Amino acid sequence: MKEWVGLLARLATGAVWIVAGAVKLPDPAQSVDAVRAYQLLPSSLVQPVGQLLPVIEIVVGATLVLGLLTRGSAIVSALLFAAFIIGIASVWARGISIDCGCFGGGGYDADATSKYPWEIARDAALLAASLFVAWLPSTRLSLDRMMFGRALEPEGL
């Protein structure tokens, strides 16, 4: 049963990453502006992070959906969700009203503070799913499982 739950967690998290990255990829300037709106990174890092983030999201999403390099991808996914939770909580605590830029967009949003709890809850659920997949990377219908069998499964399960 846990392998089926892992499959659902892997597919859902991977799909979210693919959609988030694909929406941002066509407009790198908007992605850079969204990163800048958080006012967390030094200006020298804003552009590279804004431009690379959509690519990283798509790669992490694709590897999760395929079940390839699953444990590493799930760990990167968890780290990204933790960073996004910290970023959203930070702007909320500082009274900054911005669209999270999670699925494109970004910048000033007058209604943002009412959305922050939902965005944090969503990212926390996806963080939990990522951690579950990292703990149990050998799930149904994965390339890792086809290539390496049950060797990836933690002992005692």
> Can you tell me the mean pLDDT for 132-137?
89
pTM over 0.85: yes
pLDDT band at 150 (very low <50, low <70, confident <90, very high): low
**What local confidence, expressed as pLDDT, does residue 107 receive?**
83
pLDDT band at 156 (very low <50, low <70, confident <90, very high): very low
**What local confidence, expressed as pLDDT, does residue 155 receive?**
45
**What local confidence, expressed as pLDDT, does residue 137 receive?**
65
Residue pLDDT, tens place only, 11-50: 999 999 999 999 999 999 999 999 999 999 999 999 999 9
The answer to whether residue 139 scores a pLDDT higher than 90 is no
Residue pLDDT, tens place only, 76-130: 999 999 999 999 999 999 999 999 999 988 888 889 999 999 999 999 999 999 9
**Cβ atoms within 10 A of the Cβ of 64, count?**
31
68: Cα separation from own chain's centroid: 16
Please report the DSSP string for 20-84 in residue order. HHHHHTT-HHHHHHHHHHT--S-HHHHHHHHHHHHHHHHHHHHHHHHTSSHHHHHHHHHHHHHHH
